[in-house]
Amino acid sequence: MSRAKVRTQTATRPSQARRVDTKLEVVVIPVSDVDRAKRFYAGLGWRLDADVITGDDFRVVQFTPPGSPCSIIFGTGVTSAQPGSAQGLHLVVSDIEAARAEFVERGVDVSELFHDVGGVFHHAGRQGRVSGPDAKRRSYASFASFSDPDGNGWLFQEVTVRLPGRVQAEDTTFGSSSELASALRRAAAAHGEHETRTGQHDANWPDWYAEYILGEQAGKQPPS
């Protein structure tokens, strides 16, 4: 039996010429009952940015998840897609167990944690799911899923270390205090191992933390 071939390609370096930033700003979600969807997404703790009604045939509701630069829009007359047809919407979190626990506490039916049988992203639907987070807790490899009342499908994806080239070090940002706190805890644990290896206290720990966190976000080799 032949083994499946896995091909990977690292991020390509952009050209030196300055390009116009093109940032993903909004994802439109098709829903059948606007008020029901509004209650659901408000119940997640997401920020309500707008609810604009210009008539019986047009309404725009916008929510933004905590720490996200991208928002969602749903409403009346904003999309021709069938309600519930949006699938594979990803919410990236630094602690997937904490994220799942919070949503469960808010009354959301969230799946158990899972990883993919192939170890690369995940298959569509429930195909290829293996119970539990990735055994090595690799970044990008652990998931949990839930749906809104119309069946639009969402997934949590745990990302703690970015792959090389995905984020420029000078663009490193944190969307919330909890995300920054998680990065500081990882840096503290790694710094403790660093001091154990060197056998001495590192008085310059702030610079070490900063280098570690920037490297982690940019997918670069962290300090040893």
Q: What letter represents residue 54's amino acid?
A: T
Per DSSP, 57 falls in state T
CB 139 within 8 A of CB 157: no
Rounded CA-CA distance 143/80 in Å is: 29
Rounded CA-CA distance 173/96 in Å is: 19
pLDDT at 202 over 50: yes
Query: How many CA atoms, within 13 angstroms, populate the side-chain half-sphere of residue 5?
Result: 1
Rounded CA-CA distance 4/105 in Å is: 40
The pTM of this model reads: 0.71
Say what the pLDDT of residue 84 is.
Answer: 98
Query: Which residue did the predictor score with more confidence, 100 or 118?
Result: 100
CB 109 within 8 A of CB 144: no
Say what the pLDDT of residue 70 is.
Answer: 95
pLDDT at 201 over 90: no
Say what the pLDDT of residue 153 is.
Answer: 97
Say what the pLDDT of residue 76 is.
Answer: 98
**Tens-place pLDDT, residues 157-188:** 999 887 765 555 555 666 667 777 877 888 88
The stretches of 123-198 forming alpha helices (DSSP H) are: 177-198
Q: What letter represents residue 150's amino acid?
A: D
Say what the pLDDT of residue 123 is.
Answer: 87
CB 42 within 8 A of CB 64: no
Percent of the chain with pLDDT over 90: 53
Mean per-residue pLDDT, 105-110: 98
Mean per-residue pLDDT, 16-33: 87
**Tens-place pLDDT, residues 108-165:** 999 999 999 988 788 888 888 999 999 998 989 999 999 999 999 999 999 988 776 5
Say what the pLDDT of residue 116 is.
Answer: 92
Rounded CA-CA distance 140/163 in Å is: 9
CB 25 within 8 A of CB 71: yes
Say what the pLDDT of residue 151 is.
Answer: 98
**Tens-place pLDDT, residues 47-76:** 999 999 999 999 999 999 998 989 999 999
Q: Mean pLDDT in the chain?
A: 86
Say what the pLDDT of residue 115 is.
Answer: 94
pLDDT at 209 over 70: yes
For helices 205-218 and 177-198, give the axis angle rounded to 10 degrees: 120
Q: What is the dihedral of CA 109, 114, 116, 121, to 10 degrees?
A: 70
